[in-house]
């Protein structure tokens, strides 16, 4: 019998359900826990060409939850815990690494040889450059005074000549290069970072930087963007301010991607950038007083290859600050992690957004966003996400506290690693999924060269729905993925390989280092939006 009390209870459940129901159907992707405790909080992540991931946090807060190997301790310290680990995708396990100086809120880039070069950090680490070349027993190497200016919250980007450019950082209104060459020993003044800096909140840290095919850098800081010739040290173009004028960089942390670039006959005709989320300019000052402003729910998209580029604004199904934007192998953009109130910074974020979004750049405006299934773990400030070679997304970190805090706080320090599997990994689609037969993982190639890719698909192949894409593995921290780019290669029509049920397609490698700086990429064959497992290729 339904009593008034129990019918009220039912009504209450329905209301709770309605309140919790996402505003549009969440039908994509699945989550699962990979490792509940890797011993550190994953503030920075980089995938390496051997499918291991370098993960690191900071060194200056006390002990982590994983010991250094063989009873080692940090010099002149009672701290015998590790602040960096190497995660091995194949065995789903971590190995602790030793780092001496503080690489908190730093930046980095893979080098052409597949090693990670990481730059800057805080205090004793602000001028240090560290390299990590992966092997079973390898560890960090540190170069004291590798930088000429202290860099904390800077952005790095790899360059066609194999160096990286390191731009900005707190109170560092300059850029420099690494490795140093005789003509680039100094830091070079960069007034754009002064112009976009509001000294009260420094809303232009971790600028969004992309190398574009004409050889210039697109640089977005606060609410403005330029094209910059880093060779001549000249601003080539100034883009309109993003509509709404609200900041998009740390601590009003939004994110940005260079949308997939399609190469046709050796050229990229259209170059577009997408910037999503962030927080109002007032949000940081309010958050430190305990008032949490709503995050921005807009994205701005701009075709920077147009003679007269304009921002086109779109509205996301929900607002987000501290979201990560990742290019998926099929050219869609995943927007993941973050919250819907407050800003980046210790204790400054609220209302975790547990549902990722997928943005389909080729769809008409209004039908681009697809809500994804939610996780149960808030990934707030200091969380990370990177694409793995098999198409999964590795998600970690979240520590909005000065120390590791596990109880009696909003959003306890997260030591877990989860995976998000986009719906293209559903087993029901396996008949459509390409399997690359050759070349083998680790192949090398050269600019402009043709490559024959042999692959199998168990169901019928729709030859007009095959793409070959190539993704640069990015350095992820603070909601930005440095070096991230996806190229759709110029390709012929796939044909059947004689006397087999396999196919082959001939693709042309990118024309130059401005389109694809030399180094390591993951190549995918995509059929009807479903990517194969990727293979590493090295281009030079
Ligand atoms: C981390 O270590 C601290 C101190 O030993 C302990 O209190 C805490 O429960 C550990 N947390 C996790 C998630 O392992
Ligand atoms: C094959 O792919 C093309 C391009 O994506 C699409 O328009 C067409 O509907 C597909 N055909 C089938 C049978 O799925």
- What are φ and ψ of residue 143, in 5° steps? -115, 105
Query: Does the pLDDT of residue 10 top 50, yes or no?
Result: no
* Cα 345 from Cα 479, distance rounded (Å): 12
Atom of ligand 1 nearest to the CA of 36: 13
Among 1-15, 265-279, 337-351, 370-384, the range scoring the smallest mean pLDDT is 1-15
pLDDT at 19: 44
Among 76-80, 107-111, 169-173, 535-539, the range scoring the smallest mean pLDDT is 76-80
Residue environment code for 45-56, b if the CB has 16+ CB neighbours within 10 A, otherwise e: bbbbbbbbbbbb
Query: Does the pLDDT of residue 26 top 70, yes or no?
Result: no
Query: Does the pLDDT of residue 398 top 90, yes or no?
Result: yes
Partner residues linked to 469 by β-bridges: 488, 524
User: Which ligand places an atom closest to the C-alpha of 412?
Assistant: 1
| Helix/strand/coil for 428 | helix
**CA distances for 451 relative to 49, 293, 323, 444, angstroms:** 20, 51, 36, 10
Q: What is the CATH number of domain 433-539?
A: 2.60.40.10
445 membership: H or E segment, kind and range = strand 443-445
Which amino acid residue places its CA nearest to atom 10 of ligand 1? 65
Q: How many angstroms is it from 327 CA to the middle of ligand 2?
A: 23
E-assigned strand segments in 90-154? 93-97, 107-110, 116-119, 129-132, 141-143
Atom of ligand 2 nearest to the CA of 528: 5
CATH topology assigned to domain 22-425: Methylamine Dehydrogenase; Chain H (2.130.10)
Query: Does the pLDDT of residue 432 top 50, yes or no?
Result: yes
Going by C-beta distance under 8 Å and a sequence separation of 6 or more, which residues neighbour residue 302? 225, 239, 272, 273, 309, 310, 311, 312
Which amino acid residue places its CA nearest to atom 9 of ligand 1? 406
* Residue 79: alpha-carbon gap to chain centroid: 30
| DSSP calls for 209-252 | EEE-TTSPEEEEETTEEEEEETTTTEEEEEPPPPTT----SBTS
Confidence of residue 3 (pLDDT cuts 50, 70, 90): very low
Query: Does the pLDDT of residue 75 top 60, yes or no?
Result: yes
Domain ranges in the chain? 22-425, 433-539
pLDDT at 183: 83
Query: Does the pLDDT of residue 23 top 50, yes or no?
Result: no
Query: Does the pLDDT of residue 377 top 80, yes or no?
Result: yes
Judge whether 120 and 128 are in contact, CB under 8 Å: yes
* Cα 31 from Cα 36, distance rounded (Å): 13
Query: Does the pLDDT of residue 281 top 60, yes or no?
Result: yes
Confidence of residue 245 (pLDDT cuts 50, 70, 90): very high
Atom of ligand 1 nearest to the CA of 39: 14
Q: Which of 454, 459, 425 is nearest to 523 (CA)?
A: 454
Ligand 2: does its nearest atom lie under 6 Å from the Cβ of 376? no
Judge whether 152 and 166 are in contact, CB under 8 Å: no
Confidence of residue 27 (pLDDT cuts 50, 70, 90): confident
Which amino acid residue places its CA nearest to atom 13 of ligand 2? 462
Judge whether 110 and 475 are in contact, CB under 8 Å: yes
Residue environment code for 27-40, b if the CB has 16+ CB neighbours within 10 A, otherwise e: ebbebeebbeebbb
* Residue 516: alpha-carbon gap to chain centroid: 17
Express each pLDDT in 484-536 by its tens digit: 999 999 999 999 998 888 999 999 999 999 999 999 999 999 999 999 999 99
Ligand 1: does its nearest atom lie under 6 Å from the Cβ of 36? no
Percent of the chain whose pLDDT exceeds 70 = 95
Q: How many angstroms is it from 368 CA to the middle of ligand 2?
A: 19
- Calculate the average pLDDT of the chain: 94
Q: How many angstroms is it from 467 CA to the middle of ligand 2?
A: 13
Residue environment code for 402-433, b if the CB has 16+ CB neighbours within 10 A, otherwise e: eebeeeeeebbbbbbbbbbbbbbbeeeeeebb
User: Which ligand places an atom closest to the C-alpha of 362?
Assistant: 2
437-463: average pLDDT: 97
Sign of the CA dihedral 154, 159, 164, 166? negative
Ligand 1: does its nearest atom lie under 6 Å from the Cβ of 37? yes
Q: How many angstroms is it from 432 CA to the middle of ligand 1?
A: 45
Ligand 2: does its nearest atom lie under 6 Å from the Cβ of 450? no
User: Which ligand places an atom closest to the C-alpha of 466?
Assistant: 2
Mutate to test the pocket of ligand 1, among 406, 412, 416, 417 (most ligand atoms within 8 A of CB): 406
- Does the predicted TM-score (pTM) go above 0.85? yes
237-257: average pLDDT: 98
Ligand 2: does its nearest atom lie under 6 Å from the Cβ of 462? yes
Among 18-27, 136-145, 182-191, 223-232, the range scoring the smallest mean pLDDT is 18-27
pLDDT at 498: 86
358-364: average pLDDT: 97
Express each pLDDT in 305-325 by its tens digit: 999 999 999 999 999 999 999
Span between the terminal Cα atoms of the chain, in Å? 75
């Amino acid at each position: 019998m339904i009593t008034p009390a129990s019918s009220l209870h039912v009504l209450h459940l329905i209301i709770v359900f309605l309140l919790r129901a996402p505003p549009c159907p969440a039908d994509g992707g699945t989550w699962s826990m990979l490792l509940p405790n890797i011993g550190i909080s994953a503030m920075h992540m980089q995938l390496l060409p051997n499918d291991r991931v370098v993960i690191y946090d900071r060194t200056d807060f006390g002990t982590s939850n994983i010991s250094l190997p063989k009873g080692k301790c940090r010099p002149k310290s009672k701290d015998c815990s590790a602040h960096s680990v190497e995660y091995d995708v194949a065995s789903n396990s971590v190995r602790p690494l030793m780092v001496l100086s503080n690489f908190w809120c730093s930046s980095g880039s893979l080098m052409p040889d597949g090693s990670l070069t990481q730059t800057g950090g805080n205090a004793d680490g602000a001028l240090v450059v560290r390299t990590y070349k992966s092997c079973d027993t390898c560890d960090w190497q540190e170069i004291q005074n590798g930088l000429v200016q202290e860099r904390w919250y800077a952005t790095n980007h790899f360059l066609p000549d194999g160096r990286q450019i390191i731009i900005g950082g707190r109170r560092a209104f300059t850029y420099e290069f690494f490795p140093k060459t005789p003509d680039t020993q100094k830091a070079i003044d960069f007034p754009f970072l002064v112009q976009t800096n509001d000294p009260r909140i420094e809303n232009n840290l971790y600028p969004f930087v992309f190398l574009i095919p004409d050889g210039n850098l697109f640089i977005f800081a606060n609410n403005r963007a330029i094209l910059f010739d880093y060779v001549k040290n000249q601003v080539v173009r100034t883009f309109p301010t993003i509509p709404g004028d609200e900041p998009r960089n740390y601590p009003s942390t939004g994110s940005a991607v260079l949308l997939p670039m399609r190469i046709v006959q050796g050229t990229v005709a259209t170059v577009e950038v997408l910037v999503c989320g962030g927080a109002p300019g007032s949000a940081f000052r309010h958050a430190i007083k305990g008032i949490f402003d709503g995050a921005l729910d807009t994205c701005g998209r701009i075709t920077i290859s147009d003679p007269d580029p304009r921002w086109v604004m779109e509205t996301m199904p929900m607002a987000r600050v501290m979201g990560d934007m990742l290019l998926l192998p099929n050219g869609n953009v995943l927007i993941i992690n973050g919250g819907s109130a407050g800003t980046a910074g210790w204790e400054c974020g609220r209302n975790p957004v547990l549902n990722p979004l997928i943005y389909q750049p080729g769809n008409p405006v209004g039908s681009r966003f697809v809500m994804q299934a939610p996780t149960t773990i808030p990934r707030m400030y200091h969380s990370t996400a990177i694409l793995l070679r098999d198409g999964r997304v590795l998600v970690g970190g979240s520590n909005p506290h000065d120390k590791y805090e596990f109880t009696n706080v909003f959003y306890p320090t997260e030591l877990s690693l989860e995976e998000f599997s986009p719906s293209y990994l559903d087993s029901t689609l396996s008949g459509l999924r390409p399997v690359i037969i050759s070349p083998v993982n680790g192949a090398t190639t050269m600019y402009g060269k043709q490559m024959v890719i042999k692959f199998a698909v168990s169901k019928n192949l729709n030859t007009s729905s095959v793409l070959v894409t190539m993704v640069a593995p990015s350095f992820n921290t603070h909601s930005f993925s440095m070096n991230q780019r996806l190229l759709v290669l110029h390709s012929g029509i796939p044909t059947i390989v004689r006397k087999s049920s396999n196919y082959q397609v001939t693709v042309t490698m990118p024309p130059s280092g401005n389109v694809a700086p030399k180094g390591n990429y993951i190549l995918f064959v995509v059929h009807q939006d479903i990517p194969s497992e990727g293979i590493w290729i090295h281009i030079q």
